[in-house]
Structure 1
Amino acid sequence: MHHLKENPWKINSEKVIYDNKWIGLTEYDVTNPSGNPGIYGKVHMKNKAIGALPLDEEMNTYLVGQYRFTLNQYSWEMPEGGGDFDVPPLESAKRELLEETGLKAKYWTEIQQMHLSNSVTDEHAIIFLARGLEQFEAEPEDTEQLIIKKIPFAQVYRMVCNGEITDSMTVAAVLRVQLLILENKLP
């Protein structure tokens, strides 16, 4: 497989359209790889996307239910959120797990890194598997109205396969963990 080492896009100019503490939107005047003029918009994420899939000794996981403003619908997903670029991803994952579920984990394994919607955003995700769970008090942010469900992992896997769970990080994490189970490599 041949990989281009140089960017075939030429940026002629750029203009910041929108900027806040979470995202920036830049419009680029470009010459595309075919040599034609055009525009390209890029959403720059100001944090890493961090996910933590908790899995207890009985093979249960914990899903977080919340209404997602951007989708205008309810979503079931693993605990996830933003991680500051200056904070190690694992520390952000520990914070998200405790904040959203009240869980702390003794054992952490990074299981996936991925780019989310790479045609319009530079968002980078890091996903961890959390094991050796202990229950504490959840500490949700004031923007979060969460419902927590403890569900057998096999049922969550079926929910992913049936399209009941559509959050991309959760889908990737569940499929990765299922593969680890099938290969007998679950940490």
Structure 2
Amino acid sequence: MTSPQEPTIHTLDSTVIYTNTWLTLREDHIQRPDGSHGIYSFLDKPDFALIIPMENDGFHLVEEYRYPISRRTWSFPQGGVPDSPSPHATAHTELAEETGLTAAHMTALGHLDNAHGITNQRLNVFLATGLTPGTPHREPTEQDMRQNWFPRTDLEQMILNGAVTDSCSIAAYTLLLLLNPPR
């Protein structure tokens, strides 16, 4: 665990360049340790939950078209809920919305930084077990979403062959493996 540190880069002023419902683009004028000045632009985004729904030594994944990369890709369910009371509540909501599954147990595995060079957004990783099927209630942006269960060996092969390229899903799976190695 790292301890809080004195910032080595100091913010002189900050300007909001653009904002919408999902993000704020900021441009900060900064001073580096050697005294030189510069700018640092980054996205200010709310944190989100990523859920690893596990049962029978396999995992439920969702697949959807991702506009920025112009292709469909598989990942673990994930997302944010505006005004959610907690990351735990967000995890339950996102799991149910995207997959229809409800979890008897939602275990927090940890927190990860999401693209820490361009955003302050963090993801809260949860393991969902004791799953009960139900009907998904997807948002309009998720209307093309599909879901499927994959055995652990298939998931790992999908990561290796590029069917799963979402860095958050791969990092979350690594965290799961480090905390709970397969038997």
What TM-score does the superposition give when structure 1 sets the normalisation length? Answer: 0.88
Q: 1:148-187 counterparts in 2 under 5 A?
A: 148-182=147-181
Alpha-carbon contact 1:17-1:26 (below 8 Å) kept: yes
Residue 5 of structure 2 is aligned to residue 11 of structure 1:
no
Name the aligned partner's letter for residue 74 of structure 1: R
Alpha-carbon contact 1:30-1:39 (below 8 Å) kept: yes
Of 52, 59, 62, the match for 1:61: 59
Q: 1:28-177 counterparts in 2 under 5 A?
A: 28-45=28-45, 47-56=46-55, 58-84=56-82, 86-144=84-142, 145-177=144-176
Deviations 1:30-50 (A, max 9, x none): 2222322211102101x2211
Alpha-carbon contact 1:113-1:127 (below 8 Å) kept: yes
Structure 2, unpaired ranges of 5+ = none
CA shift for structure 1 position 86:
4.7
What TM-score does the superposition give when structure 2 sets the normalisation length? Answer: 0.90
Alpha-carbon contact 1:49-1:82 (below 8 Å) kept: yes
RMSD: 2.0
Alpha-carbon contact 2:100-2:133 (below 8 Å) kept: yes
Quote the Cα distance in structure 1 between the aligned partners of 2:49 and 2:137: 17
Post-superposition, which runs of at least 4 consecutive aligned residues in structure 1 deviate over 4 A? none
CA shift for structure 1 position 126:
0.2
Query: Percent same amino acid among aligned pairs?
Result: 29
Quote the Cα distance in structure 1 between the aligned partners of 2:5 and 2:105: 38
Counterpart secondary structure, 1:139: coil
Deviations 1:23-77 (A, max 9, x none): 10111122222322211102101x2211111011x21211100111122221210
CA shift for structure 1 position 179:
3.3
Structure 1, unpaired ranges of 5+ = none
Shift of the 3–78 alpha-carbon distance from structure 1 to 2, 3 Å rule, reads: closer
